[in-house]
């Protein structure tokens, strides 16, 4: 009985991310897939950690608008409304900050650090490098 309990406890400590698939990460942010939902964990300006949970369609919309802001620099911000939260993306100085309005409440904000296009490519598990053989 004691051996079974110890092995269960050890498995819990050594495999804490069971069921979690990390898609991409960079210093200050990580995107993972957990049980039919995506979680973006990011460091805020206050040096705290915040999470944004999204369905697949919401993630596609977020990605498309982030990369659109990098491409069309005259359009410097966009507000996205997801099922549970609003997300305000702001382009400034070749970086984009993500501000989550928790429960669509603009007074309850969690603003990320600014990330460059290269950082977002890493977060979304994409690569700019072309493979040559």
Domain for residue 6, yes or no? no
| H helices present in the chain, as ranges | 2-14, 56-71, 117-123
Task: Note the pLDDT of residue 4.
Answer: 47
**Edge-to-edge strands of the sheet including 86-92?**
77-81, 86-92, 95-101, 109-111
Local confidence band at 77 (pLDDT 50, 70, 90 cut-offs): very high
- Host domain of residue 119: 19-123
Both tokens of 76, joined, read 């410097």
Residue with token string 């966009």: 78
Domain for residue 11, yes or no? no
Cα separations (Å) of 92 from 5, 44, 117, 125?
53, 17, 12, 23
Q: Which pTM was predicted?
A: 0.78
Domain for residue 4, yes or no? no
Q: Is 39 helix (H, G, I), strand (E, B) or coil?
A: strand
Task: Give yes or no for residue 114 having a pLDDT over 70.
Answer: yes
Domain for residue 92, yes or no? yes
The CA distance from 33 to 84, in Å, is 17
Asked if 44 and 112 touch (Cβ cutoff 8 Å), the reply is: yes
Average model confidence (pLDDT) across the chain: 85
Domain for residue 100, yes or no? yes
How many domains does the structure of the chain reveal?
1
Q: Is 30 helix (H, G, I), strand (E, B) or coil?
A: strand
Domain for residue 130, yes or no? no
Task: Note the pLDDT of residue 35.
Answer: 87
Instruction: Give residue-wise pLDDT tens across range 32-73.
Output: 999 889 999 999 999 999 999 999 999 999 999 999 999 998
Domain for residue 8, yes or no? no
């Amino acid at each position: 009985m004691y051996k079974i309990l110890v092995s269960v406890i050890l498995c819990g400590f050594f495999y804490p991310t069971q069921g979690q698939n990390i898609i991409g990460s960079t210093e200050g942010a990580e995107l993972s897939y957990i049980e039919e939902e995506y979680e973006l964990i990011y460091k805020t300006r206050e040096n705290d950690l915040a999470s944004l949970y999204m369905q697949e369609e919401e993630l596609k919309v977020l990605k498309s608008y982030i990369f659109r802001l990098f491409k069309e620099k005259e359009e410097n911000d966009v507000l996205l409304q997801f099922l549970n939260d609003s997300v305000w993306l702001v382009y400034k100085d070749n970086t984009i900050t993500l501000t989550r309005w928790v429960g669509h409440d603009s007074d309850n904000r969690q603003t990320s650090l600014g990330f460059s296009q290269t950082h977002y490519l890493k977060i979304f598990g994409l690569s700019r490098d072309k493979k040559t053989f």
